[in-house]
Amino acid sequence: MAQSKPTPAARRSMDARQGVARQDMALGLSPLVKPIIRGKRVWLEGIKQSWNGGLLELAGPELDAGDLGVLLALLALALRNTGEQRLEPGLAVQGMLPKSGGKPNSAGDKDVLPLQTTLAAICREIGRDTEDGRAHAAIRASIKRLQGVVIEARSGDAWASTHLIAGAAGRGKGAVSVALNYRLTRAVLGTASYGRIRMSVWRRLSPVGQCLYHWLACWRPGYGTCPPIWLDTLSRHVWGAEAAGATLRDRRRMLLAALSELPSDEWTVQIHGKSARIERKNIDAQVGPEPLFLPTPGEEPVFLPTPTRVFAHAPQNEKGPCIKLLHEM
């Protein structure tokens, strides 16, 4: 008989078997990644994301869907190896903590998750040929950019600053040795709020579809009817900025195409003029001959160990009923 409430360890095992990448929900909702970057990448500062009554502020090089894929691959691989790696304090990992100018940094005492993997393993996760030298070079470049991202978390007097990841991608046999920062570590372990991205789905999507899926998975971590959202609002989340004129029209067109890419076994999308209602289905019960778990009536498996408010992401439409998640209350 299917169990109604799997343990955290059972859920980790389930997500690992499904090839899920667990993304820190706040990072997934932040406007850090763009589908495609043409021309020279610039350095970004002052990217802000409200979270749990506090604020995340991000700085670093521009990231595109390719960089995002490498990060998600690392998260998926780390989930499979959670029983094999020991946690380490951030202070003990070279390159994890940025210079703080003498300011006490509480990230130093927080645990981070080391990961030993290979370029070939990352290639498999993102759908590239494991022997493709250009793919290996692109992954190395992405890892360098991901290392450059700095996250500051502030809440009242509490302050923590850390790089997104630390470590390196070697040559030779293509060994990769990195450590995930404490926020990513908590998402992988399930001790903080996270969104679930199925890598088997992510690999099949266009760059716009990948960024859309990534954001939706963090906006809608559970399942059920979602509040309606304006297409232009959704466009702003996918591209990280406002647009107007021909650019906005092009983005609307690409966004509609990306919405049509979402797999019907996981999402239901209804377009109503300039808004969309997007429903995530219970994908857990569709794996294997027997459901892995069945929720009790009225219960939603929303993975939010911490209280969260992200009202700005989903404006309410008073004309239609919807189910609110904890982070929409």
Strands (E), 20-53: 20-24, 33-34, 43-51
Digit-coded pLDDT (tens) for 116-144:
999 999 999 999 999 999 999 999 999 99
Specify the pLDDT at position 61: 96
> Band of the pLDDT at 169, cuts 50, 70, 90?
confident
φ, ψ for residue 83, nearest 5 deg: -85, -5
Average pLDDT over residues 255-282: 92
Average pLDDT over residues 51-71: 94
| Cβ neighbourhood burial of 38 (10 Å; 0-12, 13-18, 19+) | exposed
> Band of the pLDDT at 311, cuts 50, 70, 90?
very low
- CA 17 from centroid of its chain's CA atoms: 18
Digit-coded pLDDT (tens) for 231-251:
999 999 999 888 899 999 999
Q: Supply 200's token pair.
A: 């088997």
**Cα distance between residue 73 and residue 63, in whole Å:** 15
With beta carbons less than 8 A apart as the criterion, state whether 251 and 239 touch: yes
Beta bridge partners of 59: 150
